Amino acid sequence: MPPRLGWIGDSLPDSATWLAPYPYPDAGPTGHWLADRYPHVLRILHPAYIHDDGESRAVTWSQIATAVGTEMIVGTQFSEIVRARFPDPVKHPDPCATIEGIFDTEPEMGSLPPELIDVVYDHFDDVQSGLFWDGWGKFLDEPIRGCARVSEGLQGWNYQVVTTTRSPAQRATRTRTPNFWWPADQTWCGATGIDEMDTLVVSADLARLKSVHANPGLETQLYSR
């Protein structure tokens, strides 16, 4: 079953202007993305996968870190865990390399993985608006039509403005999540960088983020800046 909530084009940019100039989401322990507004950060780590007898099984970052003998701390990147398996300081592996017997498919990049979308949206069911990177194209299960566009001038990222639909009958993008997404009252903001394997949710409401952090179906890190 595709995720229940879908995304369709928003013909006006108004819902997104508060986020301008649309900086790339860096909310690490030393990052400053929206830190003046949202001091607390929930980091959702996208799982890797291994296939056993034709079945795909999720593998958490902490499981991979234990298997390669390295320690995970707040802000650890997936590529850092992979590099711990290859200690040669001269020949660094591809950051998306796989490790035989541990995982054979790297985490979803640029979006929550499909099997976690409903899980996360259940915690953030007031979401209303978002921005998709203009370059996803064929990676979207349904094209975004009739949308306004905004641009982040420094890097040149262009984004399509979208809004939610909760009608299962409406044609909508459902199997990828926007690169930015938030509710009408802007009390929190979610984001997945185009090249990132984790999703960030920032908020001033620590209790709400703690409730997501407690979900055993998600691997998360929770910290404040």
Res 178: pLDDT: 98
- Tell me if 144 is assigned to some domain: yes
For residue 41, the model assigns a pLDDT of: 96
Do 204 and 139 share a structural domain?
yes
List the one residue out of 198, 1, 49, 172 whose CA is nearest residue 111.
Answer: 198
Number of independent structural domains in the chain: 2
The token pair that represents 84 in the structure block: 């711990």
Asked if residue 196 lies in contact with residue 38, where contact means CB atoms within 8 angstroms, the answer is no
- 39 vs 128: CA distance, rounded Å: 22
Q: Which of 107, 124, 144 is the last residue of a domain?
A: 107
Residues 119 and 86 in one domain: no
Task: Mark whether 18 and 89 lie in a shared domain.
Answer: no
Do 103 and 125 lie in a common domain?
no
Return the amino acid letter for 181. Answer: W
Query: For the residues of 180-225, what is the DSSP string, one character each?
Result: EEEETT-SEEEE--TT-SEEEEEES-HHHHHHHHT-TTS-EEEEE-
Q: 101 and 116: one domain?
A: no
181 with 164: CB under 8 angstroms?
Answer: no
Does residue 1 lie in a domain region? no
Q: Are residues 119 and 35 in the same domain?
A: yes
Examine the domain organization and report whether 130 and 201 are in the same domain.
yes
Last residue of a domain, one of 77, 107, 137: 107
| Sites in the chain below the pLDDT cut of 50 | none
Q: Please state, in angstroms and as integers, the Cα–Cα distance from residue 207 to each residue in 84, 158, 190, following that order.
A: 34, 33, 16
Within this chain, do residues 152 and 81 fall inside the same structural domain, yes or no? no
Q: Based on the domain organization, do 68 and 140 belong to the same domain?
A: no
User: How far is the C-alpha of 177 from the C-alpha of 131, rounded, in Å?
Assistant: 9
pTM: 0.93
User: Do 143 and 61 share a structural domain?
Assistant: no
Residues 62 and 97 in one domain: yes
157 in the same domain as 144: yes
Task: Domain of residue 72: give its range.
Answer: 48-107
Q: Which two tokens stand for residue 82?
A: 């992979």
Angle at 152 between CA 146 and CA 153, to 5 degrees: 120
Question: Tokens 């194209």 correspond to what residue?
Answer: 137
